[in-house]
Structure 1
Amino acid sequence: MTAAAVGLSHSPLIGKNDPAPDVLARVNQAVDKARAFVHAYDPELVVLYAPDHYNGFFYKEMPPFCLATEAHAVGDFGSRAGALSVDTAAAKALAQGVLDAGVDLTISSRMTVDHGFAQPLEVLFGGIDRVPVVPVFINGVATPLGPVSRVRALGTALGRAAAGLDKRVLFLASGGLSHDPPVPVLDGAPPRVADALIEGHPPTPEQRAKGEERVVQAGRDYAAGSTAMIPINPVWDNRLLDHLERGELTEFDSWTVEGMAKEGGGSAHEVRTWIAAYASLAAASGSYEMNSRFYEAIPAWIAGFAVTTAKGQ
């Protein structure tokens, strides 16, 4: 097999709170380069690592990670709703390979995903049903969170399992780098909010619209500097990208849950998807080369935004 990887930040505020035209042009150029890379590679299977934002996973059962044999998207923040083209046979084979490697893994036969999964598929492939995919949820929001070393172990085991598929596999990571958006927290939440975070009651269209407008307004406030959210941290973000580029994946084993949140904000744990994807690429290929790298701090999107491409050697 051959293997490649793409890291692509997502944001629910894209198209709603866009940055200055010159910044947006640089982002679009980087995304175009990643899209061309994917088109030239022509993957037969995409293993998509992404988080959730309390649309599919709730505290009633909150796994550290979960692999889907079937999945559908809710269509939040203007992303596409509907079924993903999950390669069920490949998903089952990868799941068994991960379990055989001694890494505990939850399986979902009907996963619900949100813009974290939908956006990269739409951006790179033009839709959520255009390419065979194996969705892998990695918790990056709901505490308590496990050590990063287990995420690397997951990516390594899945990459080794993928090497046995005899396919061109693209490992795709979806997640912001440093960012601290207004995500609800269970500890200390009012009873109504706590119940929603635990039970996962689907919001009405009116409730979803109201919640999304709050996020949009938070982005405007953040860009204007009138907020208490933790600032974007380009130094921390580029340290992460440096380790990924150099293949220094074991460096992440010393990163702590508390330290990541302090330096990168409450949702900085979405970088776990990047670590898993690059661990998969390293395990499937033995070594890799990052051939494009883009980074920009974008307050309007409340995110350190990055795009990378890499190919196994």
Structure 2
Amino acid sequence: MSHSPLLNLPGPSQELLDDIESALAAARDFVSAFDPELVVTFSPDHYNGFFYRAMPPFCIGTAAAGVGDYGTYEGPLDVPAELATDCARAVLDADVDVAISAAMDVDHGTVQPLQKLFGEATAKPVIPVFVNCVATPLGPMRRVRALGAAVGAHLATLGKRVLVVGSGGLSHDPPVPTLATAPPAALKRIVHGVPMTTEQRQARQAAVMEAAREFATGHSPLAPLNPHWDHAFLDLLDTNRLAEVDGWDNGRIAAQAGNSAHEVRTWVAAFSALATQGGYETGNRFYRAAPDLIAGFAIRTAVSTR
């Protein structure tokens, strides 16, 4: 499923919010019927927990806390440390390099889906898996698929009902600072992790809302949404053609769908985890090109056909 800080901020039309809420309600019904014993999230970060002072391509948290950005949950998550450590060990044994964090900070990219699906971020035990989708240079897509497959192979040995969540927007190019263009204050945050003050967080929220307003009215330098690219990606998932992403070029992804379209890496990891069990079928096929959210917003549910 996609996430967006703008779901928690003034600006998006009520019609859009109602449409997304209807799709989320269907996903909640799906999750409730499955009643998972464990949740594993593949999520990005927006320079709230991971910074250029040490930017891993992947990281598994053995303990984690929400930072509370954009009105999302702030505080510790229910992370089963031993299960998370075993998962990290299994991924490393599968020849996929992954970092481990015993004090992972996670933002709305991780927390918002948990709150939307369960009502509370702490409702279920969760193993958070960070996937770098923003801080270039990025690794090849085939490594993301390998990560998902390694996690999925391990989860299949647990004898538990496990819900795997991939959290990310499709085509979108929001105003996220980069190492090459960030002003000094932003550099301190994205490189050294200097915490933002309350005033700085409020200013960032205001800037995001203004950027969305300009984008929705067609007066923005941000890259446009690409529904054609989004639908092609969703069709790839629906038809279990995951291996095709192995040949995707990172620069071409950004050029066609925006810099933050790399958040589809979380979807690739999640579906690759499920695909280790064989075939799967998708349902709840929601998609909306949503300029008010500066994102192609989508939701898919899927179950193994075994």
Amino acid at match of 1:233: N
Q: Distance in 1 between matches of 2:117 and 2:41?
A: 12
Work out whether residues 18 and 24 of structure 1, in 8 Å CA contact, stay in contact via their aligned partners in 2: no
Deviations 1:157-180 (A, max 9, x none): 000011111100111011111111
Corresponding residue for residue 306 of structure 1: 298
RMSD in angstroms over aligned alpha carbons?
1.1
1:67–1:106 Cα contact (<8 Å) kept: yes
The answer to whether 1:230 aligns with 2:230 is: no
2:178 counterpart of 1:185: yes
Query: 1:116 offset after TM fit, Å?
Result: 0.5
**Aligned equivalent of 2:14:** 21
Post-superposition offset of 1:252: 0.7
- Whether the 8 Å CA contact 2:37–2:124 is kept in 1: the answer is yes
Distance in 2 (alpha carbons) for counterparts of 1:18 and 1:294 = 21
TM-score by length of 1: 0.95
How much has 1:54 moved relative to structure 2? 0.4
Q: Is 1:202 aligned to residue 190 of structure 2? A: no
* Correspondent of 1:138 among 115, 131, 145: 131
1:102 maps to amino acid: D
**2:303 alignment partner AA:** K
CA distance in 1, matches of 2:185, 2:200: 13
Paired with 2:185 and 2:292, the residues of 1 have a C-alpha distance of: 30
Aligned to 1:3: none
Moved more, 16-25 or 235-244: 16-25
Note if 1:269 corresponds to 2:262. yes
Cα distance in 1 for residues equivalent to 2:198 and 2:161 = 39
Q: How far has the Cα of 1:17 moved from its partner?
A: 4.2
The equivalent residue for 1:291 is: 283
Tell me the distance in 2 between the aligned counterparts of 1:231 and 1:25: 23
Q: Deviations over 1:44-74 (max 9, x none)?
A: 1111011000000000000001000000011
Which residue is equivalent to 1:120? 113
CA contact 2:51–2:191 (8 Å) conserved in 1:
yes
Name 2:28's counterpart in structure 1: 35
Q: Which one-letter code corresponds to 1:207 in the other structure?
A: Q
8 Å contact from structure 1 (residues 45, 133) kept in 2: yes
Structure 2: give runs of 5+ residues left out of the alignment. none
Letter in 2 for 1:309: T
- How far apart, in 2, do the equivalents of 1:94 and 1:13 lie? 33
Which consecutive unaligned segments of at least 5 residues does structure 1 have?
1-7
Q: Measure the CA separation in 1 of the matches of 2:94 and 2:70.
A: 37
Tell me, in whole angstroms, the C-alpha distance in 1 between the residues paired with 2:259 and 2:65: 26
Deviates more, 1:129-138 or 1:193-202: 193-202
Mapping of residues 152-167 of structure 1, within 5 Å? 152-167=145-160
Comparing both chains, which one has the higher relative contact order based on Cα–Cα distances under 8 Å and sequence gaps of 6 or more? 1
TM-score with structure 2 setting the length: 0.97
Please identify, of 191-200 and 259-268, the stretch whose mean Cα deviation from structure 2 is larger: 191-200
Distance 2:103 2:214 in 1: 37
Give yes or no for contact 2:11–2:213 (8 Å, CA) kept in 1: no
> 273-282 vs 12-21, which deviates more?
12-21
Partners of 1:97 and 1:157 within 8 A in 2: yes
How far apart, in 2, do the equivalents of 1:21 and 1:81 lie? 26
Any residues of structure 2 matched to 1:29-108 within 5 Å, and which? 29-108=22-101
Structure 1 counterpart of 2:280, one-letter code? Y
- Cα 1:17–1:233 change in 2 (3 A) is farther
Partner residue in 1 for 2:245 = 252
Match of residue 4 from structure 1? none
- Aligned residue for 1:166, secondary structure, equals coil
Percent identity, aligned pairs only, is 51
CA distance in 2, matches of 1:307, 1:190: 35
Q: Is the 8 A contact 1:64 1:145 kept in 2?
A: yes
Number of equivalent positions: 305
Contact 1:155 1:275 in 2 (8 A): yes
**Offset at residue 18 of structure 1 (A):** 4.7
